[in-house]
C-alpha cells in the first residue's frame, strides 16, 4: 500500500503540474492510445502498480484538461487543491455515509457543512441540505419533495401509493429551462412535455407580466443562472407571487446560486431565500471534484419524509442520517469536500473566487468585442456568448479553437443564433489566461477562418 500510494501521488503531481501547459483537448495520439484498453478480461489479475501504471500511461493523456486554467466549456470549474486532498483522505476512510452509526464523522461534518452553506448563502437558519451527485439529482430531489408535500395536502400519500390515480399537479417552467430539469421531470413521473412553459425575454429570463396564474397544486420551477446567458429569472417577484398562491417554488440554481456569496452579485438572487427548494452544484463554481451537487429544502421534515425509507436493521438516531437527505442510501461523503472548500476559502475567499471569475468573463467579452466580434448576451455573471458572423463561420471558429488546444470552448444555439459559449468558473484561471485566449481566438480567426 505504501509504495502504491507514493507511486500514485507522484503521478498525480505530474499530471497536475502539466495540466496548465498541455493542449486542453487531448491530442489525436492520446485518443489513439485508448485502444490500449481493448483487450479481453484476463484470467489472472495484474498487480495494483501495473493497473495504475496503465491507467496513467494511457488514460491521463486522453483526459480533457478541465482541471487546468483554460477550460471554458459547459460550466465545469476545477477542483481546489484542498478538495482533491480531502477526497483522497475520505476515499481511504471508505465510510458508509447514509447512517450516523456507520460513520459519525460524516454525519457530523455534513451537518456542519449544511449550517455553513445556509450561512454563506444567506438562507433561513435550519434550511436542510442534501449532498447528491449533481444539480440533476438535486432538481430531482426538490421535485420529489414538492410532489410529496402538494399531494399530501390533498390527502394523497405519494410515498405509499405512488402516482397512479393521484390528483393532478401542474408544473410551470420558463421556456429556457435546463435540459437537466427535463430529465428530472421525466424521472419523477411528471413527464417532459406535460409542463406549462412561461415565455422568456432575449436573455432567457421569464417575463413576469406574462407568467401564468398558479395555485396550491402547482410546482413553479424557476432558474437562477441560465446555462447560456447566465441570466436570472425575476425571482423576487415570482417567488412571492407563486408562494402566496400556495404553489411550491423550486429554483434550479446550478451555478447562479454562488452569486449570493458576493455583495456585488447577490442582488441577482434576491428572493431565492423564500423558495421552497433550491438545487445547486458544488462541482461547478465551488470547485470541488466531480461529482457533487446540493439540494436545499426549507422544510426539513418534508424533505426527510420524501426521502424516507425503513428497514428493521436501519438504526436511527438523533443525529444526521444521510440517507434521509438524498435519494441514495449508500454513497460517498460528498459533503466533506464541500466543507473543506468552504473552510479553506473562508467567506472572503469564496466571494473573491466568484467575483474574480465574473470580472474575467467581462474581460473576455470586452477583449473579444475590441477585435470586432459580437457578444450576444448581457454579461451579468460568468457566461459569455460570442458570434463570429454566420452560423457556419462561428462553428468553424469553435472547431479551430478546440483543435488549437490553447483553450476549450463549446458552441450553442441561442434563440436562433449560433454562438461560442464561454463559461469562466475555475479557481485556477488567471487574467493572463484570459488575455492569452483572446489573442488565440483573434489569431485563429485571422489566420485560419
Ligand X SMILES: *Cc1c(COP(=O)(O)O)cnc(C)c1O
State the residues that interact with ligand X by CB under 6 A: 75, 134-136, 178, 180, 225, 227, 252, 254-255, 281, 293
Query: Do residues 275 and 251 make contact, with C-beta atoms less than 8 angstroms apart?
Result: yes
Coil, strand or helix at 96: coil
Q: Which is nearer to ligand X, 129 or 135 (CB)?
A: 135
Distance CA(63)–CA(55), nearest Å, equals 11
Find, among 288, 273, 261, the residue nearest to 354 by Cα: 261
The burial of 130, by beta-carbon neighbours within 10 Å (0-12 exposed, 13-18 middle, 19 or more buried), is given as: buried
CB of 101 to ligand X, least distance (A): 30
CB of 231 to ligand X, least distance (A): 11
CB of 389 to ligand X, least distance (A): 27
Q: Which is nearer to ligand X, 99 or 198 (CB)?
A: 198
Handedness of CA 367, 368, 371, 374 (dihedral sign): negative
CB of 132 to ligand X, least distance (A): 9
CB of 134 to ligand X, least distance (A): 3
* DSSP for 225-251, written as a single string: S-TTT--B--HHHHHHHHHHTT-EEEE
Find, among 63, 118, 74, the residue nearest to 285 by Cα: 74
Q: Which is nearer to ligand X, 226 or 418 (CB)?
A: 226
HSE-CB for 289 with a 13 A CA cutoff: 16
Q: Which is nearer to ligand X, 234 or 293 (CB)?
A: 293
Bridge partners for 132 per DSSP: 293
Q: Which is nearer to ligand X, 114 or 252 (CB)?
A: 252
Q: How far is CA 170 from CA 77, 138, 196, 216, 242, in A?
A: 34, 20, 7, 9, 13
Which residue is closest to ligand X by CB? 134
Distance CA(282)–CA(62), nearest Å, equals 25
Q: Which is nearer to ligand X, 110 or 281 (CB)?
A: 281
Find, among 203, 138, 141, 211, the residue nearest to 173 by Cα: 211
CB of 258 to ligand X, least distance (A): 11
CB of 146 to ligand X, least distance (A): 17
Q: Which is nearer to ligand X, 225 or 333 (CB)?
A: 225
Amino acid at each position: 500500500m505504501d509504495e502504491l500510494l507514493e507511486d500514485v501521488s507522484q503521478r498525480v503531481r505530474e499530471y497536475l503540474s502539466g495540466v496548465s501547459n498541455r493542449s486542453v483537448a487531448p491530442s489525436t495520439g492520446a485518443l489513439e492510445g485508448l485502444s490500449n484498453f481493448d483487450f479481453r478480461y484476463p484470467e489472472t489479475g495484474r498487480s495494483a502498480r501495473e493497473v495504475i501504471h496503465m491507467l496513467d500511461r494511457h488514460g491521463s493523456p486522453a483526459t480533457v484538461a478541465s482541471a487546468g486554467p483554460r477550460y471554458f466549456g459547459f460550466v465545469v470549474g476545477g477542483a481546489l487543491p484542498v478538495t482533491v486532498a480531502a477526497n483522497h483522505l475520505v476515499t481511504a476512510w471508505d465510510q458508509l455515509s447514509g447512517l450516523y452509526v456507520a460513520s459519525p464523522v460524516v454525519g457530523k461534518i455534513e451537518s456542519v457543512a449544511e449550517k455553513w452553506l445556509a450561512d454563506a448563502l444567506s438562507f433561513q437558519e435550519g434550511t436542510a441540505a442534501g449532498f447528491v451527485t449533481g444539480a440533476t439529482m438535486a432538481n430531482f430531489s426538490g421535485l420529489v419533495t414538492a410532489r410529496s408535500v402538494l399531494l399530501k395536502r390533498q390527502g394523497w400519500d405519494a410515498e405509499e401509493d405512488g402516482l397512479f390515480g393521484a390528483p393532478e399537479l401542474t408544473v410551470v417552467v420558463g421556456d429556457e429551462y435546463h435540459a437537466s430539469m427535463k430529465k428530472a421531470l421525466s424521472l419523477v413521473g411528471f413527464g417532459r412535455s406535460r409542463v406549462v412553459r412561461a415565455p422568456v425575454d432575449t436573455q432567457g429570463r421569464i417575463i413576469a407580466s406574462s407568467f401564468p396564474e398558479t395555485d396550491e397544486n402547482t410546482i413553479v420551477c424557476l432558474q437562477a443562472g441560465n446555462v447560456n446567458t447566465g441570466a436570472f429569472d425575476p425571482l423576487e417577484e415570482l417567488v412571492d407571487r407563486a408562494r402566496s398562491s400556495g404553489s411550491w417554488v423550486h429554483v434550479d440554481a446550478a451555478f447562479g446560486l454562488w452569486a449570493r456569496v458576493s455583495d456585488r452579485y447577490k442582488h441577482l438572487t434576491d428572493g431565492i431565500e423564500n423558495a421552497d427548494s433550491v438545487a445547486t452544484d458544488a462541482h461547478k463554481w465551488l470547485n470541488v471534484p466531480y461529482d457533487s451537487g446540493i439540494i436545499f429544502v426549507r422544510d426539513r421534515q418534508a424533505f426527510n419524509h420524501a426521502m424516507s425509507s425503513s428497514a428493521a436493521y436501519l438504526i436511527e438516531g438523533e443525529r444526521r442520517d444521510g440517507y434521509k437527505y438524498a435519494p441514495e442510501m449508500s454513497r460517498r461523503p460528498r459533503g466533506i469536500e464541500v466543507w473543506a472548500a468552504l473552510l479553506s476559502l473562508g467567506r472572503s475567499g469564496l466571494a473573491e473566487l466568484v467575483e474574480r471569475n465574473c470580472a474575467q468573463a467581462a474581460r473576455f467579452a470586452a477583449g473579444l468585442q475590441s477585435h470586432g466580434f459580437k457578444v450576444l448576451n448581457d454579461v451579468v455573471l460568468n457566461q459569455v456568448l460570442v458570434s463570429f458572423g454566420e452560423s457556419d463561420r462561428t462553428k468553424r471558429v469553435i472547431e479551430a479553437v478546440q483543435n488549437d488546444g490553447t483553450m476549450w470552448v463549446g458552441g450553442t444555439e441561442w434563440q436562433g443564433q449560433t454562438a461560442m459559449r464561454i463559461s469562466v468558473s475555475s479557481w485556477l484561471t488567471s487574467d493572463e489566461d484570459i488575455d492569452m485566449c483572446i489573442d488565440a481566438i483573434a489569431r485563429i480567426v485571422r489566420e485560419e477562418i
